[in-house]
Structure 1
């Protein structure tokens, strides 16, 4: 019997044309795919979370595929991030299972990029807004791609649920102009530069 019981999925897409400066010729697209899942360990301590983490890989793949389709294909994706909000009857470690499961799935779907997948997690109730940190998929030092994507579901997570989310973007911040390593100069060998 599966440990993963999805109550609902959500897909949000932003199109950013400007931040007060010139209008971009094509918008930056930022998408968040999320799922509200029953927490199989709500209200109790369970020592071994590995079976849950293993099963969550399939959910990570599902959310990753939804994002890639929404953004026009894997080649369009330049930034990513992940997050989890654990309902009040859970513990933070039950959201931390998403580090491997969600991160692994995104890398797999995107052709195994090198950079670490930025992450956020918390314990909170329905309607909580969590900002998912974004970073360049090949090199963590690409300053222009440090950004955020908002994850929220108005009726979740409930006390016995977890909201898992993945985010992807088609580029860096609109009007990025603070120097550092540019996306065009990434070598993509070590996940940093």
Structure 2
């Protein structure tokens, strides 16, 4: 029996046309999928968190597929990130199970991109806002794709819940112009450049 009990899933889609400069010919799309899940370890210490982490892989695959569909297909995805908000009766390590489960799922869905999946996690109550970092899927040094997106659910996570989120975007910051490695210059060998 799975340790993952989902109460609700929220999908957010942000469409950005400009940041004060010229309007883009196509918008930047940023999608976030957040699942509110019962915390099987709320209120107690559990030494072995690996079964929960393994069970979360299926949820990660589901959320990843939803994001790809929202953005129009795998070929459109250029950036990603993940995050977790642990309710007050949990501990930060309960959110850390998402590093492998959520990151693995996005890599599997997107065809094994090379770059690390940026991440953020915190402990908070209902309505907590978490800013999740985004980075290019193939090379972490692509400065134009350093960004953030917001994760929040109005009625979660409750004390005994965790909000697990995945995020994907179709590009980097709108009007990025601060140099560094360009997406067109990625070699794709080590996940950095």
CA distance in 2, matches of 1:131, 1:112: 24
1:121-159 C-alpha deviation (Å, 9 max, x unpaired)? 000001011011000000000000000010000000000
Partner of 1:89: 89
Q: 2:34 corresponds to which residue?
A: 34
CA–CA distance in 1 between the matches of 2:187 and 2:107? Answer: 17
SS in 1 for 2:149: strand
1:109: how far off? 0.0
For 1:72 and 1:184, the matched residues in 2 are separated by: 21
Deviation at 1:2, TM superposition (A): 1.2
Q: Tell me the residue number matched to 1:69.
A: 69
Deviation of residue 73 (structure 1)? 0.4
What is the aligned length?
193
Instruction: State the match for 1:182 in structure 2.
Output: 182
TM normalised by structure 2 equals: 1.00
- Root-mean-square deviation (CA, aligned residues, Å) is 0.3
Give matches, 1:1-193, under 5 Å: 1-193=1-193
C-alpha distance in 2, partners of 1:2/1:171? Answer: 35
TM-score with structure 1 setting the length: 1.00
For structure 2, which runs of at least 5 residues remain unmatched after alignment?
Answer: none
The CA distance in 2 between the partners of 1:57 and 1:141, in whole Å, is: 27
* Poorly superposed stretches of 4+, deviation over 3 Å: none
